[in-house]
Amino acid sequence: MNIADRTAPARAVTAQTADLTVVGGAGHVGVPLVLSFAAQGLTVNINDLNTASLDTLRSGRVPFIERGADVLLTKALADQRLFFTSKPSEISTKGPVIVTIGTPVDEFLNPVRRVIQDCVDPLLPHMRDGQLLILRSTLFPGTTDWIDAHIRRQGRDLKIAFCPERIVQGHGVEELSKMPQIVSGLTPDAEEEAAALFRSVAPELVILTPMEAEFAKLFNNAYRYIEFAITNQFYLIARSAGLDYGKILQGMKHNYPRAKGIPTPGFAAGPCLVKDTMQLLAFARNEFALGNAAIMVNEGLPLHIVSDLRRDFDLGSMTVGLLGMAFKAESDDPRASLSYKLKNALANHARAVLTTDPLVTNDPSLLPLDEVISRSDLLILCTPHRCYKDADLKGKPVVDIWGLLENANVVY
């Protein structure tokens, strides 16, 4: 692909001749990436199995909360820079194919490398030799080399690059233009072509080998996850001593630069941090003591809350209302949210558990906030959405581990 061509009128272009294809392009990583390239004048083939999300995008709506995406989507559609396809046979053969599909861990906490192979295999007959395949999903170390060997065994000769995504979900559009982009290629020409592409959206490139890049991404996420775990562990220790951790944390951080980055305690989960820590754990043959401990602490936090509440309240006679089911504040994404772990744990002990979230749209069991407040005997702030800060909780007792609520009847 010639980046210099990008101001050419998009009208003559088809899905098969778009400047690049993003496979998984309707997902949380795909959408901001697609829109960032389109904003630079590139034509993009959004290839995704999820036809409902493709239809939503085609109609000018973003399927989930992504700041700044609506404006870019409107412009990209008006400029006819986007193409929507759902079959491997419909990808473009002109430029790079970027893969941004999900990379889960299985029920034994092992990475499922097969999902990458299952995605790439059907693409191969529709790619030309010499075409660039950029893996952008978070990968178990060694996967880029492994997929290259797998492709070569079939007598195919693609250029392979690994360029991990490091955005914070919901802020991808904003961050892609500000954050350095890690680029790695299995050959110098793969690396150079991937670098040329990402130079069009990123302010700076960091060149690593694929294996280094795979680790860099996992280390970034595991480090963040451990940061949340340590503050959660401090919280539990302070609580067991009968102290207010929020007050201690404020004291620790006040004008003390080395403590500036300590996060507030709270639920730390979601689709990436815990899963990526597990990938490292699996790579290290379970000898990643800090990662292991972080999972125990973060995943254990809702269980500690339940056991403390069982001690302090007669839960069996109470209806408990959970405020916020998304995995983090101002997000509509409930994937791997600890709010659901808490809900399940409470269901064994409380008379009833009610849930609400103003942003999550795909959980039919959610109720309006007012109803949850009025029907509940005890509330738990699970996700610190801004809207809860000033909500009238009608004096109901509330659990607030985040320290968000100022004028509420906080009992824990």
Ligand X SMILES: NC(=O)c1ccc[n+]([C@@H]2O[C@H](COP(=O)([O-])OP(=O)(O)OC[C@H]3O[C@@H](n4cnc5c(N)ncnc54)[C@H](O)[C@@H]3O)[C@@H](O)[C@H]2O)c1
370 token code pair: 């007012």
Residue type, 143: T
Residues numbered 358 to 387 that lie near ligand X (CB under 6 A) are none
The β-bridge relationship of strands 82-85 and 397-399 is unpaired
Instruction: Give the CA diameter of the chain.
Output: 69
27 part of the interface to ligand X, by CB under 6 A: yes
Residues numbered 283 to 342 that lie near ligand X (CB under 6 A) are none
3-state class (DSSP) for residue 88? helix
Order of all β-strands in the sheet with 82-85: 82-85, 44-47, 20-23, 97-99, 132-135, 159-162, 181-185, 205-207
Per the document, the length of the chain is 412
From 89-97, 162-170, 236-244, 255-263, give the range in contact with ligand X by CB under 6 A. Answer: 162-170
Q: How far is the CB of 326 from ligand X (least distance, A)?
A: 13
Q: How far is the CB of 146 from ligand X (least distance, A)?
A: 16
Q: How far is the CB of 231 from ligand X (least distance, A)?
A: 21
- Whichever of 133 and 350 has its CB closer to ligand X, that residue is 133
164 token code pair: 């991990």
State which residue has the least CB distance to ligand X: 27
Name every residue whose Cβ is closer than 8 Å to that of residue 206 and which is 6 or more positions away in sequence: 180, 181, 182, 183
DSSP states of 353-387: EEEE-SS--S-TT---HHHHHHH-SEEEE-S--GG
- Residue from the set 18, 26, 163, 393 that interacts with ligand X by CB under 6 A: 26
Give 7: exposed, middle or buried? Use CB within 10 Å, 0-12, 13-18, 19+: exposed
Q: How far is the CB of 217 from ligand X (least distance, A)?
A: 7
- Whichever of 48 and 332 has its CB closer to ligand X, that residue is 48
- Whichever of 115 and 290 has its CB closer to ligand X, that residue is 115
Alpha-carbon distance of 250 to 244, in angstroms, equals 10
191 part of the interface to ligand X, by CB under 6 A: no
24 part of the interface to ligand X, by CB under 6 A: yes
Residues numbered 34 to 73 that lie near ligand X (CB under 6 A) are 47-50, 53
- Whichever of 270 and 321 has its CB closer to ligand X, that residue is 270
195 part of the interface to ligand X, by CB under 6 A: no
Name every residue whose Cβ is closer than 8 Å to that of residue 307 and which is 6 or more positions away in sequence: none
Query: With DSSP H G I counted as helix, E B as strand and the rest as coil, what are the percentages for the chain, rounded to 5?
Result: 45, 15, 45
- Residue from the set 45, 144, 169, 279 that interacts with ligand X by CB under 6 A: 169
Q: How many residues bind ligand X (CB under 6 A)?
A: 25
- Whichever of 27 and 324 has its CB closer to ligand X, that residue is 27
- Residue in 394, 409, 1 with CA at minimum distance from that of residue 195: 1
Residues numbered 220 to 279 that lie near ligand X (CB under 6 A) are 271-272
32 part of the interface to ligand X, by CB under 6 A: no
Residues numbered 85 to 124 that lie near ligand X (CB under 6 A) are 100-103, 119
Name every residue whose Cβ is closer than 8 Å to that of residue 108 and which is 6 or more positions away in sequence: none
137 part of the interface to ligand X, by CB under 6 A: yes
List of residues contacting ligand X (CB under 6 A): 23-24, 26-30, 47-50, 53, 100-103, 119, 137-138, 165-167, 169, 271-272
